[in-house]
Structure 1
Amino acid sequence: MTTARFLVVLDADSTLIRNEVIELLADEAGRRAEVQAATEAAMRGEVDFATSLRSRVAALKGVPTDAFDRVRARIEPTPGVRDLTAAVHERGGIVGVVSGGFHEILDHVAPELGVDRWRANRLATADGELVGEVDGAIVDAKAKADSLKQWAAELGVAPHATIAIGDGANDLLMMSAAGLGIAFNAKPAVRAAAALVVGPQDLSEVVPLLP
């Protein structure tokens, strides 16, 4: 069994990467403005995440699956992300990502950025197009917290040796479940609830906080 000294779990959209993937996909449908507004409301905690995600994914109906390649090409890693993942590995830690976004993008992006394990939603497709539905259970706030706990248990990492980094309201349960919760590039409610706030949009700022 793989063991680790500590575990760092990040959100993906606006944390591991600078983009909100669902907004890039909505560009392909010509519906970015409405999806962007719904995303921002969900991240502020004004609406239920799962309900919001279903409505936003419904707006993607008819987008061809070849759009995934175009979206991947537009992904911008957050400054300092490779410095952070390298530092975690040098110190005997493991990097996880748990995301309300999508495996279709994260499966390509995560390994390139030094992430060891990840979990996200999947988009249902048929005949080369998105059908406007999530395939399977939605990765929501509880699923994020549960993933952190599960991975820590699998790796033999004590709860106090876990770090969670996120920006939105659906990251709060994960951040409270961790030994240290860090608000990064975060919405006001998340900054207010977090044990620690990292201001500059540069993940290398987290390196001095590693055990």
Structure 2
Amino acid sequence: MPDARFLVVFDADSTIIRNEVIELIADEAGRGAEVAAATEAAMRGEVDFATSLRSRVQELTGVPVASFARVLSRVEPTPGVHELIAAIHDRGGVAAVVSGGFHEILDTVAPSLGVDVWRANRLAVSGGALTGVVDGPIVDAAGKAEALREWAQTYGVAPSATIAVGDGANDLLMMDAAGLGVAFNAKPAVRRRADLVVGPVDLAALIPLLP
């Protein structure tokens, strides 16, 4: 695999897409409002992410896997995402996504946006429905930072040539590990610690930051 010139690692929910996928899935169980409130608290850093994720996933118990098609139909790409990923590739970079969300949705969304590599949580399933637990280790703040470091090594990219883009508290360690940490459409705690804050919800605004 040839070395890349640089690496950009994105969060997924409210970053490369406008939605919080766990809330879309919760809507299928009629529990959207409760899960949305818990997600907001986790993104602000008020509660431990892994603990919060487990409790929110428990609310998804019984949601049929067949309803994921409806969830996918509601996913909205963030304005400018196609242009930004095209620009990353044009300049010899790699576009990656690491998410506290779910492979079940990201495995369709990521390749449709041109993302090169991605990692997320998995939902346990039994009898065609969600069991309410996360299958395997949880991708939390430490997991996101580890993914950035791992991909940088895989693609031969120096840490200084990495960019991390996120909006929530669980993105902060990844942003700290990157050469440049960008708060995009972010919570106040994230804006305070980021190297750079991008306000407009248009990912094309990040193109001038690319090496």
Output the TM-score relative to the length of structure 2. Answer: 0.99
Partner of 2:104, secondary structure, is helix
| Matched position secondary structure for 2:125 | strand
1:82 corresponds in structure 2 to 82
- The match for 2:190 is 190
**How is 1:29-68 mapped onto 2 (pairs within 5 angstroms)?**
29-68=29-68
User: What whole-Å deviation, never above 9, does each CA across 1:179-200 have from its counterpart, x for those lacking one?
Assistant: 0000000000000010100000
> What secondary structure is seen at the aligned counterpart in 2 of 1:84?
helix
Alignment of 1:106-125 (within 5 A): 106-125=106-125
User: Per-residue displacement from partner, 1:140-169 (whole Å, max 9, x unpaired)?
Assistant: 000000000000001100000000000000
Distance of 2:122 and 2:104 partners within structure 1: 7
How far residue 2 of structure 1 moved from its aligned partner, in angstroms, is 3.4
Deviation at 1:44, TM superposition (A): 0.2
For 2:89 and 2:65, how far apart are their aligned partners in 1?
A: 34
Give the match for residue 135 of structure 1: 135
**Distance in structure 1 (CA, Å) of the matches to 2:2 and 2:81:** 23
Unmatched tracts of structure 1, length 5 or more:
none
* Paired letter, 2:127: D
Tell me, which stretches of 5 or more residues in structure 2 are unaligned?
A: none
CA distance in 2, matches of 1:137, 1:185: 27
TM-score, normalization by structure 1? 0.99
Question: Alignment RMSD, CA only?
Answer: 0.4
Percent identity reads 73
Deviations 1:103-143 (A, max 9, x none): 00000000110100000000000001000000000000000
> CA separation in 2, counterparts of 1:70 and 1:135?
22
The one-letter code matched in structure 1 to 2:98 is: V
Residues paired across the two proteins, number: 211
CA distance in 2, matches of 1:154, 1:115: 16
Provide the residue aligned with 1:97 in structure 2: 97
Cross-structure match for 1:160: 160
